[in-house]
Chain A
Amino acid sequence: METHTIARAQVRAAQWKQVVSFCRRFARNPSGMFGLVILLALLFCAAFAPILATHDPYLPNLAGRLSAPNAEYWLGADELGRDIYSRVLYGSRLTLLIVGLVIVTSAPIGLLVGVVAGNYGGWLDTVFMRVTDVFLAVPKLLLALAFVAALGPGIVNAAIAITLTAWPPYARMARAEALAVRNSDYVNAVRLSGASEFRIIVFHIMPMCISSVIVRMTLDMAGIILTAAGLGFIGLGAQPPLPEWGAMISTGRKFIFDQWWVATVPGFAIFIVSLGFNLLGDAIRDLLDPHLKART
């Protein structure tokens, strides 16, 4: 068994080398690094919100109602006198929760549907892809709205609704990749050694689709944040008093002319985070996208 463990270690080392090489190339992309910094800052804020916050995000203080940014309320206070800075910090947790829920559900569903359709072809392909087409044919926000209306408002329901609208593009992409890969020589080679279709899909075709999916995922995150904020804005996402950014803008719009900070600060938070995810996504695409590789 001794040799076996040595082999494992060497496999790890070889894989680690790939990761290091990827990180090196990533580090040379300034806008990607900027996006990464924003994402890390977001994670940091979410993780240490209780320590970083100056106030209880839920505790009203009518005395400080709608106060402009000052020493007490760094970014001002809202209509109930809650500290906007603290609420935006806590809001980052909700944003991450929604993005996380949507990504871990929609990407695998889309990947699975796409790869199975692409690999098997025939009627299975037709059925899967027509269902995908139906989902793609309805405007995203409208579909999400309909689902939330049916399921009832709330953060988890919003995430489920967004998932239902987010998976079809993954399915399309994964199918295209699977079609390209399934008749390649290296997949034929394992097929010829008697591998089951399940094994071929999971170990040989899926790894080739993963990089496209990851690229799409990071580029999608900004969109998910915006959709979540949109649902929050029209009152179908997170419910008060949760400090969700979209909902915060929604309450702030009543004071937009006189107390601009109430709506602007969460809006700015959405802008920064979306920008960060987009920059990160672009950088990752430059490194991973198999179709772009030929150009460099």
Chain B
Amino acid sequence: MIDNILTVDRLSVRFGAATVVDDVSFAVARGESFGLVGESGSGKSTILRTIMGLNQDWSGAIGVNGVPARGTGRSEFSRQVQMVFQDPYASLHPRHLVGNAIAEPMRIHRLDNVEGRTLDLLRLIGLSEDFAYRYPHELSGGQRQRIAIARALALSPKLLLLDEPTSALDVSIQAEILNLLNRLRSEMGLTFVIVSHNLAVISYICDRLMLLQNARHVETLTREQLRSRDLQQNYTREFVAASGS
């Protein structure tokens, strides 16, 4: 049996009358990097937020590391999975020092040696220790996104959900963040689920990807299938053609 760290089974999410995710199922193996691709409104970000418990009105089953998302306390769930948000300008508290932002999850869980771990995390994501004593507005977009990644890693989760982690960044900074993510995944044995509209980014960083359109699953491909253009659906062909340069 394959060791799946994340299983999403027949997930449907509703916002009032609108169905924004319609009967989507997938599983992510431990250590894998899985991409969710689609245009705006395809429901890809909603899936991530639902896994994290930020949407209430959903049906189906979600399990992380064998722990069901429904009925599990946030505190316990938070050690299994963490999320990195799209906009690094909105995901850090403007009044908190960066060091405190990284330390906060560890303080919530009453871990010991929080200060030491915070500095370790800063080094891990490639920033010097004195960044702990800066405010977010003193940092560039790329540095902020690194801090957001450090915060997500503070509780040492094995699964990391990344919502468009580089779309708000310049291309040269995007390369740095993608390299960082790849390094972290291999060093720490992490599993990624990455949402993006950029097929090139997904092809670079993901082993497998799922294409969504209008809340529905279109096609799931391995990287090899994508690269050999072994595509079954018309929409996939269209999407790949539009993304190609």
Contact = CB atoms under 8 A, between A and B. Distances in A.
Task: Judge A-B direct contact (beta carbons within 8 Å).
Answer: yes
A41 interface: no
A7 B116 CA distance: 10
A192 B154 contact: no
Given A4-B115, A189-B85, A207-B95, A14 B135 contact: yes
Contacts of A189: 83, 85, 91, 148, 151-152
Given A7-B115, A208-B95, A190 B90 contact: no
Nearest to A12: B133
Contact of B135 (A18, A186, A196): A18
A14 B91 contact: no
B97 A14 contact: yes
A194 B93 CA distance: 16
B92 interface: yes
Contact of A194 (B78, B86, B91): B78
A256 interface: no
Interface in A181-204: 184-196, 199, 203-204
A190 B108 contact: yes
A199 B132 contact: no
B104 A10 contact: no
Q: Choose among A13, A193, A207 the residue with the greatest number of B CB atoms under 10 Å from its CB.
A: A193
Contacts of A296: none
A204 B93 contact: yes
A18 B94 CA distance: 12
Interface string B74-115: 111111001101110011111111011100110011000001
Contacts of A18: 135
A126 B97 CA distance: 35
Nearest to B73: A194
Interface residues of B, number: 42
A3 interface: yes
Nearest to B79: A194
A11 B108 contact: no
Interface string A92-114: 00000000000000000000000
Contact of B54 (A13, A14, A186, A188): A188
Contact of A193 (B92, B105, B116): B105
Which residue of B54, B100, B108, B151 has the most chain A CB atoms within 10 A of its CB atom? B108
B54 A193 contact: no
B134 interface: yes
Contacts of A14: 97, 133-135
Nearest to B106: A193
Contacts of A203: 104
Contacts of A3: 115-116
A276 to B, nearest CB: 28
B205 interface: no
Interface string B117-150: 0000000000000101111000000000000100
Contact of B91 (A4, A10, A185, A207): A185
A199 B151 CA distance: 17
26 contacts: A4-B115, A7-B115, A10-B133, A11-B97, A11-B100, A11-B133, A186-B90, A186-B101, A188-B54, A189-B83, A189-B85, A191-B54, A192-B52, A192-B74, A192-B83, A193-B108, A193-B109, A193-B151, A194-B73, A194-B74, A194-B77, A194-B78, A194-B105, A195-B108, A203-B104, A208-B94
Interface of B: 52-54, 73-79, 82-83, 85-87, 90-97, 99-101, 104-105, 108-109, 115-116, 130, 132-135, 148, 151-152, 154-155
